Chain A
Amino acid sequence: MKKKDLISKWLNFNLSDTEKETFENLDVSASYHRIDRAAKYFKAPEFNTESSYQDLKNKLGNRKKSIRPLYGYISGIAATLVVAFGLFALLNSPQSTEYVAENSARTEFVLPDTSEVILNAGSSISFKEENWDDSREVNLEGEAYFKVAKGKKFSVHSSQGVVTVLGTQFKVKDRSTYFEVSCYEGLVRVEFEGKTYELAAGDAVKAYGDMVVSEKTALGKPSWLENKSVFKSVPIREVIQELERQFDVQVSGEAITSNTLFSGSFSNQNLDTALQAITIPLNLSYSINGKSVVLKK
């Protein structure tokens, strides 16, 4: 392939693995990468669609009043139509499809466009199958890994942020007080508390408390796909909550509300080993009684 075509393919996020290698071996690839990275500094300022639409509505406010009398004229016909249309809409309204992964379980499924989703324990996803071709949007509670097929914009709405991509691999973790997005391939945009973060492959952003931290992820896939839960500087209470979901147990006692940062991992297959992995570094002991675990000093 000609050098120019190769570079154009890179610019269109379209390189295959072997082409990627050829590209990286170009003498100018470092310059290109740097130009690419630095381009982000020139990003257009944040555009808030919602507030700017409110402004527009205010500006248009006077205008609309003058149109209103027309509505009166046709309201008779409209009323009949509303009934008919309401019935039609009721029968045709797109149904939400929902997938749930219970505690200590994992669910894998394929979206209508062949995008793959893997839900981690204690998570759920819903989306409208009928409108899928028009808007690829899912609502997520919990944690999931996405391998998105190329196509239109794909958005993940969660309680704390919105993540949009075109075609890539990434995971979103949204647990009450903790929010994390890791990008494994392609480019991901995260909207969180009014700010936008752009993640390239290997980037991650996580937020807990008042902290927002950008970092690198060396992993090619979320660790829980290999039945391990890995944490890097994560508050210990999040680690314990993850343990509760993975093994479907209730943890009580010491450290469960602590904000101390924990780096380490535990296996999702054996509760004993997992508890040891957490308690030994923290100098705690534990006892298991059926579905409840108590941590002690």
Chain B
Amino acid sequence: MSTPLFKNVCDEQYFSKLYEEHSKDLHDFIYYKYGEHVNPEDKVQEAFIKLWRNCKTVAPEKARSFLFTVINNITLNDLKHKKVVLKYQQSKPKQHTNESPEFIMEEAEYLAKYQAALAKLTEGQRVAFLLNRVEGKRHKEIAEMLNISRKAVEKRIYSALEKLRKEIDGI
């Protein structure tokens, strides 16, 4: 059905659908942008509470951009000028069967360098890069999420990659 079924987002069923569709993106967006210490999950909930309270005035097609704007503002109000450090996970995404002690040590060193290099990226570069490489999002999707052009996304991700390589390889 192409005509919108709901005039606003007050319908609970529709509201839960919005939650299902956007909450993870919002969460990842805030996590990659500000890091863990801002409690991205709480921010997601606050944004949706705000949406619910304004449900009569927000048109369904505006809900996504409303949520992204609101969650960003909520988080910014919460913190100012803190340096972001993303922690790397203890559990490894892949299994290595024959890990020598040298390998493990080298891997740990590599990740430490990586972490430092990530912290040196600009916020814009980091968010776009991680959404792309970790969450597997296409340039177009990221452009819609961040409300910037596709070209800008491409540029941010590319420069992030180059910067990381130069930092890590020590060139």
For A1-26 the 0/1 string (1 means CB < 8 A from B) is 00010011001110000000000000
The chain A residue with its CB closest to the CB of B151 is: A8
* Assembled-state Cα–Cα distance A8/B152 (Å): 12
* Assembled-state Cα–Cα distance A36/B165 (Å): 10
Q: Does B111 contact A (CB under 8 A)?
A: yes
Q: Which chain A positions have C-beta within 8 A of B52?
A: 60, 63
Q: Does A40 contact B (CB under 8 A)?
A: yes
* Assembled-state Cα–Cα distance A23/B88 (Å): 28
Q: Which chain B positions have C-beta within 8 A of A38?
A: 110-111, 114
Q: Which chain B positions have C-beta within 8 A of A31?
A: 165, 168-169
**Of the 9-residue stretches A44-52, A109-117, A254-262, which lies at the interface with chain B?**
A44-52
Q: Which chain B positions have C-beta within 8 A of A8?
A: 154, 157-158
Among the listed B23, B89, B132, B154, which residue makes an inter-chain contact with A43, where contact means beta carbons less than 8 Å apart?
B89
- Cβ of B93 and Cβ of A12 under 8 Å apart? no
Q: Which of B124-171 contact A (CB under 8 A)?
A: 129-130, 132-136, 138-139, 154, 157-158, 161, 164-165, 168-169
The chain A residue with its CB closest to the CB of B89 is: A41
* Assembled-state Cα–Cα distance A187/B93 (Å): 14
Q: Provided the pairs A7-B161, A35-B165, A49-B24 are in contact, do residues A40 and B49 lie with their beta carbons within 8 angstroms?
A: no
* Assembled-state Cα–Cα distance A98/B52 (Å): 38
Q: Does B68 contact A (CB under 8 A)?
A: no
Q: Does B54 contact A (CB under 8 A)?
A: no
Query: Chain A interface residue count: which class?
Result: 35 or more
- Cβ of B45 and Cβ of A41 under 8 Å apart? no
Q: Does A132 contact B (CB under 8 A)?
A: no
The chain B residue with its CB closest to the CB of A13 is: B138
* Assembled-state Cα–Cα distance A70/B83 (Å): 48
B-side interface residues, number (CB < 8 Å): 49
Q: Which chain B positions have C-beta within 8 A of A175?
A: none
- Cβ of B23 and Cβ of A52 under 8 Å apart? yes
* Assembled-state Cα–Cα distance A8/B128 (Å): 13
- Cβ of B44 and Cβ of A52 under 8 Å apart? yes
Q: Does B100 contact A (CB under 8 A)?
A: no
Q: Does B86 contact A (CB under 8 A)?
A: yes
Q: Which of A201-226 contact B (CB under 8 A)?
A: 203, 213-215
- Cβ of B161 and Cβ of A35 under 8 Å apart? yes
Q: Does B16 contact A (CB under 8 A)?
A: yes
CB distance from B56 to the nearest CB of A (A): 10
Q: Provided the pairs A12-B154, A47-B41 are in contact, do residues A41 and B111 lie with their beta carbons within 8 angstroms?
A: yes
The chain A residue with its CB closest to the CB of B107 is: A38
* Assembled-state Cα–Cα distance A92/B139 (Å): 36
Q: Does A291 contact B (CB under 8 A)?
A: no
* Assembled-state Cα–Cα distance A260/B1 (Å): 52
Among the listed A45, A59, A189, which residue makes an inter-chain contact with B136, where contact means beta carbons less than 8 Å apart?
A189
Q: Does B13 contact A (CB under 8 A)?
A: no
Most chain A CB within a 10 A radius of its CB, from B53, B138, B169: B138
**Of the 9-residue stretches B28-36, B59-67, B73-81, which lies at the interface with chain A?**
B28-36
* Assembled-state Cα–Cα distance A166/B164 (Å): 26
Most chain B CB within a 10 A radius of its CB, from A13, A53, A189, A203: A53
Q: Which chain A positions have C-beta within 8 A of B92?
A: 41
Q: Provided the pairs A47-B23, A56-B48, A59-B45 are in contact, do residues A11 and B132 lie with their beta carbons within 8 angstroms?
A: yes
* Assembled-state Cα–Cα distance A60/B168 (Å): 47
* Assembled-state Cα–Cα distance A11/B169 (Å): 19
- 26 residue pairs of the A-B complex, CB under 8 angstroms, read A7-B158, A11-B132, A11-B133, A11-B139, A11-B154, A12-B132, A12-B139, A13-B138, A34-B110, A35-B161, A39-B129, A40-B93, A40-B133, A41-B89, A42-B115, A43-B89, A44-B27, A44-B32, A47-B23, A49-B23, A53-B20, A56-B48, A60-B52, A92-B1, A166-B138, A215-B95
The 3 closest A-B pairs by CB, nearest first: A44-B31, A39-B133, A41-B88
Binding site for A on B (CB under 8 A): 1, 16, 19-20, 23-24, 27-28, 31-32, 36, 40-41, 44-45, 48-49, 52-53, 86-89, 92-95, 110-111, 114-115, 118, 129-130, 132-136, 138-139, 154, 157-158, 161, 164-165, 168-169
